Amino acid sequence: MTDARTAIASLRRSHERLRALVEPLDAEAVRGPSYDDEWTIAQVLSHLGSGAVISRLVLDAAVAGQDAPGQEQFVAVWDTWNAKTPDAQAADVLPADLALVEAYEALDDAQLAGLRVALGPMSLDAAGVVRLRLSEHAVHTWDVAVVLDPAATVDAAAVDLLIDGLAMIAGFAGKPTSPARIHVTTTAPDREIALDLGDAVSLGPWDGEARPARLRLPAEAFLRLVYGRLDPAHTPPLEADGVDLDTLRAAFPGF
């Protein structure tokens, strides 16, 4: 229960950060590039806005004990947001995002304890559902923040909650490269992680065995690596021994 409330509080914090970034933007800025080469800032905001609407549909169905909406409903939401002007995408994202945050905040303890959402083969509890939204929200908020401030980082509170859930993302988005087993040590928060490259990309707990390759870096930077956002211009000081950063970047091209 506490974990779900903590995740909701972090999502609220991420929403407020997005608000602070978006509200001052003018028409030229929202049409300008985001960190993602293929998306403008407005398109990133459209993605977050449509995601908020879809997440609310999924949440409402789960609370009502109904089946989750299907792909047809998702496509209709995406089409609606894609048809908006860049100005409307920027204007509409904050109300849609806030409505989702407030819907999570309004759940009582019993609803949080009983919440289950089926996503493909996964069944997520309340904390898992909110963390999934938080991962999308915090990273895409950084996609906007970093073009306004090259020194921007992913929100620290979000990193604390997301660092232990990166195995799912790594398995989904990682691309096999040269086989290697890397001992990853992160700071803020401190973690020791085994990263395997090769036939499949996977993350797991470090088992204490000696590793020929080692990587030590802030947890925030490791999170961005897994999400394909650790390019040379946005890489903080780190220690790499027996592992090439370009190989790691190739293993995590982003999505």
pLDDT given for residue 2 in this prediction: 58
pTM: 0.95
Picking from 109, 115, 219, the residue whose alpha carbon sits closest to that of residue 161 is 219
Q: Which amino acid is at 249?
A: R
146-148-153 Cα angle (round to 5): 30
Sequence ranges of the domains in the chain: 2-152, 164-251
- Residue 191, H or E segment: strand 191-197
Average pLDDT per block of 10 residues along the chain, 255 residues long? 88 98 98 96 98 97 91 97 98 98 97 90 91 97 98 97 94 88 96 92 87 92 98 97 94 91
67: Cβ–Cβ under 8 A, 6 or more apart, which residues?
61
Q: Which amino acid is at 76?
A: A
Same fold, 2-152 and 164-251: no
pLDDT for 68: 86
Determine the residue type at 184. Answer: V
How far is 175 from 214, CA to CA, in rounded Å? 19
CATH architecture of the domain with residue range 2-152: Up-down Bundle (1.20)
Residues linked to residue 241 through DSSP beta bridges, in sequence order: 214
Enumerate residues 6+ apart whose C-beta is below 8 A from 237. Answer: none
8 A C-beta contact, residue 61 and residue 73: no
Among residues 190, 176, 178, 172, the alpha carbon closest in space to that of 243 is found at 178
The one-letter code for the residue type at 160 is D
DSSP string, 124-160: E-HHHHHHHHHHHHHHHHHHHHHHH-TT----HHHHH
Q: What is the pLDDT of residue 230?
A: 98
Which pLDDT score, from 0 to 100, does residue 71 have?
A: 93
Q: What pLDDT is attached to residue 1? A: 46
Per-residue buried b or exposed e for 124-143, using 16+ beta carbons within 10 Å of the residue's own CB: bbbbbbbbbbbbbbbbbbbb
pLDDT, residue 97, reads 98
Q: 164-251 has which CATH code?
A: 3.30.1050
Q: Dihedral of CA 119/120/124/129: which sign?
A: negative
Instruction: Please check whether residue 86 is in contact with residue 32, taking contact to mean a CB–CB distance below 8 angstroms.
Output: no
Q: Cis bond leading into 189, ω under 30°?
A: yes
Predicted local confidence at residue 212, as pLDDT: 78
One-letter identity of residue 218: P
Decide: helix, strand or coil at residue 205: strand
